[in-house]
Chain A
Amino acid sequence: NAGVTQTPKFQVLKTGQSMTLQCAQDMNHNSMYWYRQDPGMGLRLIYYSASEGTTDKGEVPNGYNVSRLNKREFSLRLESAAPSQTSVYFCASRPRTGHGTEAFFGQGTRLTVV
């Protein structure tokens, strides 16, 4: 029972490089999310997808793009990485929008941009 799987777990990028963070869930969930976590800021929503084929901006979307490839997978792309994007990134999923429906989280990707 894998749940939400993120790859890679660690990554170091140089400024200006691009990369894609991968996320996959095996729980047949409709909704998926990408967050970044920085000290003292909690988790801030980057993008989310309420269903396959739809994506929406969250609180801090600038510098990122996403793709909901299918129901299982939701990727986050940094086209030109900047030091300000150094953070821990979490992917999450939940079955549907509904009262009391909690999200399930991956283990995170620690990204450092130098």
Chain B
Amino acid sequence: AQSVTQLDSHVSVSEGTPVLLRCNYSSSYSPSLFWYVQHPNKGLQLLLKYTSAATLVKGINGFEAEFKKSETSFHLTKPSAHMSDAAEYFCVVSDPGGDDKIIFGKGTRLHILP
């Protein structure tokens, strides 16, 4: 069965500094991996997705993630944080060759310090 672990429940960075949100996954197959963002009292927005075409995936708003099979990781990065990035971020896994479940991590709340 697939699962995902987000290693930090809260991350604080200063505006203009890099962001790193960590995610490890477990999957019996070649997984589909996603990052979603949720701003306060808002719905869920897809940031980026891993489709197996390339290990480095670029998303919206300057975010990137790198799929590392040997480390079973899919960490989310951004070179320079902006105040508008303050939100909760979810790492998500799905097994295209298995059942149809989509499993969320517990989330990482990103705080941006002025």
Measuring CB to CB, which residues of chain A are less than 8 angstroms from any residue of chain B? 31, 33, 35, 40-45, 48, 50, 56, 58-59, 90, 92, 94, 97-103, 105-108
Q: When the two chains form their complex, are residues A97 and B100 in contact, meaning their CB atoms are under 8 A apart?
A: yes
Q: When the two chains form their complex, are residues B44 and A48 in contact, meaning their CB atoms are under 8 A apart?
A: no
A and B contact pairs by CB, cutoff 8 A, 27 listed? A31-B100, A33-B102, A40-B107, A41-B106, A42-B106, A42-B107, A44-B104, A45-B101, A48-B102, A50-B99, A59-B103, A90-B43, A97-B100, A98-B32, A98-B96, A99-B32, A99-B96, A100-B32, A100-B49, A100-B50, A100-B51, A101-B32, A101-B96, A102-B46, A103-B102, A105-B43, A107-B43
Interface size, chain B (Cβ < 8 Å): 24
**5 new A-B pairs (CB below 8 Å) besides A97-B96, A99-B52?**
A48-B102, A50-B100, A58-B101, A101-B94, A105-B43
B110 CB to closest chain A CB, in angstroms? 15
B31 CB to closest chain A CB, in angstroms? 9
